[in-house]
Chain A
Amino acid sequence: MKGSSKIAPYVFIGPTLLLLSIFSLLPIAVALYISLTDMDLAGLADYANISFVGFKNYMDVLGDPVFLVALRNTLVYVVVGVPLIIMFSLGVALLINYGRSKLFKTFRIIYYLPSVTNIVAVAVVWSYLYNPGIGLFNYVLTTLGFDRVPWLTDPTIAKFSLILMALWRGIGLNMIIFIAALQGIDRSYYEAAAIDGASAWQRLTRITLPLMRFAIFFVSITTMIGWLQFFEEPLVMTEGGPLNGTVSAALFIYENGFQYSNFGYAAAGSFILFFIIIAVTLLQLRLQRKQNEE
């Protein structure tokens, strides 16, 4: 009896801990090791073909023009995508939370719906919408008297087309987090403000937004990390094209690993991305702390 209750916790956590060790922790060590080797298809066939190359992969990746383009594209995704998604999901959450009729509950479902749909299905549908000849978007634009837009065929515009699609798909999740935070705000603040005759704008900027600070911070960190790893959209929609216009750092890693089988090279790239993510997160934490001290 006593004995069983002593082993029991290890039996309960054992299987998952083992799985997490094999598929999350061990891989870091493996990735670190192969990033210092020339592991490729030949190495995969026979480990004897692998040789240690030191930091050569890291040097090569940092000098690889495609990787630099990928980093620049990733920067565009983050700088444009993150503020847009936070603004939209916060705006939608405020409006939905403001409404009183049943209709607003329906809006919650409508805005969340894209978040649960499959990325490939979404990409297939949006590729059709973006089609230059028979796509719905260009049809509507030409009917209204505008020019056709080369949604996915121009390297610069394609980036923004992907951001638009990711925005559509990403609003829902953050919106739900914001709504949960809004519902946690104590009503009495607003009652006091109403007695003092505060306008709706003042209530928003002086009460709601300051009290939402933690939620906004949480969402900006998770969104930023997510967009630094922007990957599935360019993989399925454009395969990084046209002319590497949409290739992201994460897609660069995937392509080098699984299409060209340069495992060592790709692993080095993945660590560079990892360092960037850590650096950006730490920077944001520090900014947040500074803001709180003020």
Chain B
Amino acid sequence: MAAATKARGPQTKEDRLFQWAAGTVLSVFGIFMLVPFAWMMLSAFKTEAEIKRLPPTIWPETFTWDNFGRLFTEMDFGTYLTNTLLITLFAFVGLLLNAMAGFGFAKYRFKGREKMFLLVLATMMIPGQVTMIPVYLILNSVGLTNTMLGIVLPGFSSAFGIFLFRQFMSTLPDEVMEATRLDGASEYRMFAQIILPMSKPILAVQAILTFIGGWNSFLWPLIIANDQKLYTLSVGLQLLKGQHGTNFALQMAGAAFMVVPIMIVFMFFQKQIIENYNISGIK
């Protein structure tokens, strides 16, 4: 399938037929991709009685916001939301640390640089299942289980993030750094006032991914938080699934509450997210 080979030439009949066929196949599968989202949204606005009816209604007969209200009255979604936002905020501290490390690896020559960078990359290959239990034991030994700090610390630094920052920052011109140094600025001021502003494209991508990752964080909150006061939205939603197993309207409202903000963020920034894979140099 030639990648828009003849974009400049005249379209042949065969080519136009292929275009239509491709569009049709993608549409059919595309509808299947969207069905779960559509069904979630429609069901979230139905009453509990309506959702149990057979045959099911497609459009909500009595349109209700009740389910969303009950998330905050019957469940503690207010607390879960606060915790999730707090974790996301913390994740941005981690993002800054990754940017610093990426800069250190990109722009300085120092003893052991190559070896340390290889070590960072090697950590990407360790499966989560191997570190899961020891990390829990380590956090437990310093009394950080069932604390917010214990939830966020394990995910603070990401080898992949460091790698992407290093890739981007090594393309920044050295002359700018030299000029800043001649002006007498310290290395740290240079990083904050010159390097970070110049790294806006990669920062934007990483910020979006950090937000999505923080918002969706599930495993560490699940392992570390014993107390419902520390639950995140995803852990709370799992609790809801267990407690209100048959109330699908309420469950769909909870799912929609988690998914819709991410969908909006994604729609806004999809170009940056998708192009991230060009920056990472996979192609």
Cβ of B135 within 8 Å of any chain A Cβ, yes or no, is: yes
Taking the closest CB of chain A, its distance from the CB of B90, in whole angstroms, is 13
Interface-side segment among A58-66, A150-158, A175-183, A284-292: A175-183
What secondary structure prevails in chain B residues at the interface with A? helix
B128 contacts A229, C-beta separation under 8 Å: yes
CB-CB under 8 A for A119 and B218, given A98-B4, A98-B18, A125-B252: yes
Q: Is B37's beta carbon under 8 Å from chain A?
A: yes
Question: Which of A15, A98, A104, A121 is the one whose CB lies under 8 Å from B97?
Answer: A15
Give the dominant DSSP class at A's interface: helix
Contacts of A13 in B (CB 8 A): 100-101, 104-105, 116
CB pair B153–A19 under 8 Å, yes or no, is yes
Contact residue among B133, B241, B251 (Cβ-Cβ distance under 8 Å from A270): B133
B255, A125: Cβ atoms closer than 8 Å: yes
A44 and B137 form a contact (CB under 8 A): yes
User: Which A residues touch B263, using CB under 8 A?
Assistant: 113, 116-117
Roughly how many angstroms separate A168 CA and B110 CA in the complex, as a whole number?
46
- B138 interfacial contact with A, CB 8 Å: yes
CB pair B237 A120 closer than 8 Å: yes
**Residue in chain B with minimal CB distance to A200:** B1
Shortest CB-to-CB span from A101 to chain B, Å, is 7
Do A121 and B237 form a contact, CB below 8 Å, given A28-B126, A110-B34, A180-B278?
yes
Report yes or no: A92 in contact with B26, Cβ–Cβ below 8 A: yes
Complex CA gap A236/B110 in Å reads 46
Q: Are A98 and B133 in contact (CB under 8 A)?
A: no
CA distance A49 to B2 in the complex (A): 67
Taking a contact as CB atoms closer than 8 A, the residue among B101, B130, B277, B282 that contacts A12 in the complex is B101
Given A22-B138, A139-B54, A101-B23 contact (CB < 8 Å): yes
Residues A270 and B3 in contact, CB atoms below 8 Å apart: no
Nearest neighbor of A199 in chain B, beta-carbon distance: B14
Say if the beta carbon of B131 comes within 8 Å of chain A.
yes
Chain B residue numbers with a CB within 8 Å of A34 are: 133-134, 137
Q: Find out whether the CB atom of B274 lies under 8 angstroms from the CB atom of A258.
A: no
- Residues of B near any A CB (own CB < 8 A): 1-7, 14, 18-19, 22-23, 25-26, 29-30, 32-37, 39-40, 43, 51-52, 54-56, 97-98, 100-101, 103-105, 108, 110, 113, 116, 119-120, 123, 126-138, 140, 153-154, 156-157, 159, 162, 181, 184, 186-188, 191, 212, 215-216, 218-219, 223, 233-235, 237-238, 240-241, 248, 251-252, 254-255, 258-259, 262-263, 266-267, 270, 273-274, 277-278, 282-283
| Apart from A118-B258, A200-B2: 11 A-B pairs, beta carbons within 8 A | A5-B108, A11-B104, A15-B157, A30-B137, A95-B25, A117-B262, A120-B258, A125-B40, A129-B36, A263-B137, A267-B134
Listed A/B pairs (23) with beta-carbon separation below 8 Å: A5-B108, A8-B187, A13-B104, A13-B116, A15-B97, A19-B97, A20-B157, A27-B138, A30-B138, A34-B133, A98-B22, A99-B19, A101-B23, A114-B36, A120-B241, A121-B254, A122-B36, A128-B43, A136-B39, A200-B1, A254-B132, A271-B130, A273-B130
